[in-house]
Structure 1
Amino acid sequence: MNIKDKKRKIIINTAVKLFVERGFHGTPTSLIAKEAKIATGTLFNYFKSKDILINEIFKEVKTKQINFILRDFNKENKSKEKLKKIWDNLILWGIENPQEKKFVNYFSNSSYISDDTKTEINKNYKFMLEIFKNLISIKNIKNTNELMLIFNFLGACIFTGNYFCVTNEPYDKKLSRESFERYCKSIGLTEKD
């Protein structure tokens, strides 16, 4: 990694920490620069404004998250196996990246993240849309859409992950699996699906 990339990474890591601790308005660019041990002008050489900075951070964190989620994903054939892989990886990503998880939680629905950024990031999640379209077809689920099932799935997964973060208990595969199976039962998903 060259010096420019290292400095950019330091800026992003510092900004994530400060945005999580202090919020958007409570984090002036001068503080980010000070904590990153760079001049404020140097910060603006990398990111022209605080709005651009937070959007670039969001893109980077979400890209790392999706790459983590998709580890070994293509090895799975059935929809339930694919969802289990996503479930496990998303929970583990949150446990292994607590600052980034908090950042995503705080800013996912924030007006600071532009619609263009959200649209760009959402394109990376098309694989989930395909899984749920397939499930609706296979299970002949009536009066619902893929997006609602995706949100239900992600909500159950995120709250399961939050359990381990809030309680500070180590990740328990059995407990996670029980929660996953409850979700699957709620939509009639079986081993053969």
Structure 2
Amino acid sequence: MDKREKLLAAALKLFVEFGFHDTPTSKIAKEAGIASGTLFYFFPTKDELVKALYIDLKSRLNEYISEVIKDEKSLQGILKVHYSTTLHWALKHKTEFRFIEQFNSSPYLKQIAEEEIQKYIKPIMALLEKGVKDKIIKPIDVNLIFSLICGHTFSVNQYLVANEFSKSKQDMVINDTFDLLWDMIT
């Protein structure tokens, strides 16, 4: 693990544990075993570190989803695999997903360049638009549908994390809640 990766890993751990504002850069550098000056070499400000960590995590999650979803053809199949893959990744990467949740409900989200955000949501938005156009999905604003899907995903993840279900019970909850989501938008 190189110094930048060590800093990101330390920041992830501390931001989730203490929050963005209660985690000084000196604590991140110490946790990473790296000098503060080195932290500022990679990330000139704490804000830049927070945003870089988010982009890193979103990129990893999206690469994972893209790999799993590539063979799906139907809209329902694509959305189901996207949903279930996101939740399975979240259960396996609890700290990372918790950070993404924190970030999404913070002022930092507005500081991410629109092009960067579009890179992650454009494919799913295009699918939703096609679903509405093809009359598979209800004729509702796709931004609202996307918000409903995201909110549903985060809420179901919180439910799964709060309960110690077996893998088969987790899968059942994920499948059942996807069916509820699908019924809601179609």
TM-score scaled by length of structure 2: 0.90
One-letter amino acid of the structure 2 residue matched with residue 11 of structure 1: L
Q: 1:158 to 1:112 in 2, by over 3 A?
A: closer
Shift of 1:157: 2.3
Contact 2:69 2:82 in 1 (8 A): yes
Render the CA deviation track for 1:157-178: whole Å, top value 9, x for unaligned: 2222222111122342222111
C-alpha RMSD of the superposition: 1.8
1:13 aligns with 2:18: no
Q: Larger deviation: 154-163 or 114-123?
A: 114-123
Q: 1:168 to 1:140 in 2, by over 3 A?
A: closer
- 1:38 and 1:97 mapped to 2: Cα distance? 24
Which of these residues, 35, 42, 50, is aligned with residue 38 of structure 2?
Answer: 42
- 1:143 and 1:156 mapped to 2: Cα distance? 19
Uncovered stretches (5+) of structure 1, i.e. residues with no partner? 189-193
- 1:153 and 1:167 mapped to 2: Cα distance? 21
TM-score scaled by length of structure 1: 0.87
- 1:64 and 1:37 mapped to 2: Cα distance? 24
Which of these residues, 76, 81, 85, is aligned with residue 77 of structure 2?
Answer: 81
Shift of 1:119: 4.3
- 1:105 and 1:119 mapped to 2: Cα distance? 20
Match of 2:86 in 1: 90
One-letter amino acid of the structure 1 residue matched with residue 179 of structure 2: E
The number of equivalent residue pairs is 184
1:136 aligns with 2:122: no
Which of these residues, 112, 116, 122, is aligned with residue 120 of structure 1?
Answer: 116
Please state whether the residue corresponding to 2:48 is helix, strand or coil: helix
Shift of 1:118: 5.4
Which of these residues, 44, 48, 51, is aligned with residue 47 of structure 2?
Answer: 51
- 1:13 and 1:20 mapped to 2: Cα distance? 11
Q: Percent identity over the alignment?
A: 28
Contact 1:33 1:43 in 2 (8 A): yes
Contact 1:11 1:43 in 2 (8 A): yes
Shift of 1:116: 3.5
